[in-house]
Amino acid sequence: ADGVVELDAGVMDGRDRSAGGVACLRDVRHPIDLALAVMRDGRHVLLAAEGASRFAREQGVEMADPSIFITDRKRQELSQGADTVGAVARDDGGHIAVAVSTGGRTGKLAGRIGDSPIPGAGLYADDRHGAVCGTGVGEAFIRLGLCRVAIVELEHGMDPAEVAKKAIDWLGRSMNAAGGIILTGREGDPQAAFNTPAMPWAKRVG
């Protein structure tokens, strides 16, 4: 955006469905830290642009010069569409959480907000059912409320692997959009599905 990187991030806690999202950040070193601060503060769910940066300074979140986000490696990642990072987690007590961070689409308009910081679109967590996060064409995820829909499918008892596959099939069929999701149910292994040539992901137990 205007030669400057704008970053988004979101987190959600499945215990009480508290959430924090931040968008259009240019000077926060780790946007996910600010999203967590928004969630813990609890007054708002989504902060953007200068208001979010002001809140970051008030909370003591580490700031950065915008130029540090523009590197040769970052240019290459953006040209390949490799930018969004997400994680779903379930602990021994059955508590579930999700976090996502992204620089969004290459060549996006200044001020564009994608799905990553928006609960229900790019992420969702609920201890009763599971957690999910996505990557891909954010506008399509927002229009479909894709991650919330996936949680509803888990709520109705659908197998997590089938939920993931169905969600991505729907994304491609209804929006002609590319993307992928990772999700975990209340038990069992995490699952992933995507309609892109590849989507690197991994799981860790213990």
Q: CB count, 10 Å around CB of 45?
A: 17
The active-site residue out of 84, 102, 135, 184 is 84
Residue 120 sits at the vertex; the CA angle it makes with 116 and 121, to the nearest 5 degrees, is: 45
The backbone torsions φ and ψ at residue 111, rounded to the nearest 5 degrees and listed phi first, read 90, 0
Active site residue 84: yes
**SS3 annotation, the chain:** CCCCCCEEEEEEECCCCEEEEEEEECCECCHHHHHHHHHHHCCCCEEEHHHHHHHHHHHCCCECCHHHHCCHHHHHHHHCCCCCEEEEEECCCCCEEEEEEECCCCCCCCCCCCCCCCECCCEEEECCCEEEEEEECHHHHHHHCHHHHHHHHHHCCCCHHHHHHHHHHHHHHHHCCCEEEEEEECCCCCEEEECCCCCCCCCCCC
Amino acid identity at 14: G
Which residues are the active-site residues? Answer: 84
